[in-house]
Amino acid sequence: MPAPYEASLEYAQSLDQVDILYAFRERFLFPQHEGQDARYFCGNSLGLQPKSAGYLMGLELEDWAKYGVEGHFKARNPWFSYHHIFTERLSKIVGAAAHEVVAMNTLTVNLHLLMISFYRPTQERYKIIMEAGAFPSDMYAVETQVRMHGFEPDDAIIEVAPRDGEYLVRDEDILQAISEGGSSLALVMFGGVNYYTGQVFDMKKITDAAHRVGAFAGFDLAHAVGNIPLQLHD
């Protein structure tokens, strides 16, 4: 068992030694800093390259060279059906059934597709609540959707921020903002995990609160998948 918490390199290393996933470290390439592996804290922006990536990408390039457009159907991993190939594994890490998951597009495109379906504002119910300092894709997509429907972001978007001197958003402040939004609230849009602070949001509480006032709840889980247990089917 590791010693009681302390802010030291030695303590962090002791946690690594008892981490059941520690062996996975050997599967990745680390940038070098002064002749040693860098301590990499930017995985939220771009993950480390797996050692197998070059080989696997090479196989795809070989199939591209060999088959051209026919690679969609004849490649070792046919490109046309990639969304089916990834479905089973994706479903396990998000806690959903395979038929409930699809691999498609980019994050911002998917956010727009979701909001086109679920953000249907009226003159009375048009506001969106989100966390202050959300991932930029969330901010851009929400602002674009608001403007597309003829509203001004300063009026339509409510950002819930940490209190003065604090770094995390309190659950009670989120729930209070939803309650106060009431009948003017169309959508609550949060990240499952804030990309910058690492704060895990209580998605069930947020969803229940949104539904109580008649609003939809949506979550960008780009930084939650693989970081926290998810049970999307539930």
Summarised one tens digit per residue, pLDDT across range 83-105 is 888 999 999 999 999 999 999 99
Tell me how far apart the alpha carbons of residues 222 and 106 are, in angstroms, rounded to a whole number.
11
Residue 200 scores a pLDDT above 90: yes
Contacts of residue 161, defined as CB under 8 A and 6 or more positions apart, other chains included, come to 131, 132, 133, 169
Q: Which domains does the chain have, with CATH numbers?
A: 9-50 (no CATH), 107-220 (3.40.640.10)
pLDDT the model gives residue 2: 57
Tell me how far apart the alpha carbons of residues 90 and 86 are, in angstroms, rounded to a whole number.
6
By three-state DSSP, how is residue 170 classified? coil
The DSSP call for residue 24 is G
Confidence tier at 52 by pLDDT (50, 70, 90): very high
Tell me how far apart the alpha carbons of residues 165 and 217 are, in angstroms, rounded to a whole number.
28
CA 210 to the chain's CA centroid = 20
Which is more confident, 83 or 30? 30
Burial 67-79, CB ≥16 within 10 A → b, else e:
beeebeeebeebb
pLDDT the model gives residue 4: 82
Residue 81 scores a pLDDT above 60: yes
Percentage of the chain surpassing pLDDT 90? 86
Pairing label, strands 216-220, 49-50: unpaired
pTM for the whole thing?
0.85
Tell me how far apart the alpha carbons of residues 22 and 139 are, in angstroms, rounded to a whole number.
34
Tell me how far apart the alpha carbons of residues 35 and 60 are, in angstroms, rounded to a whole number.
33
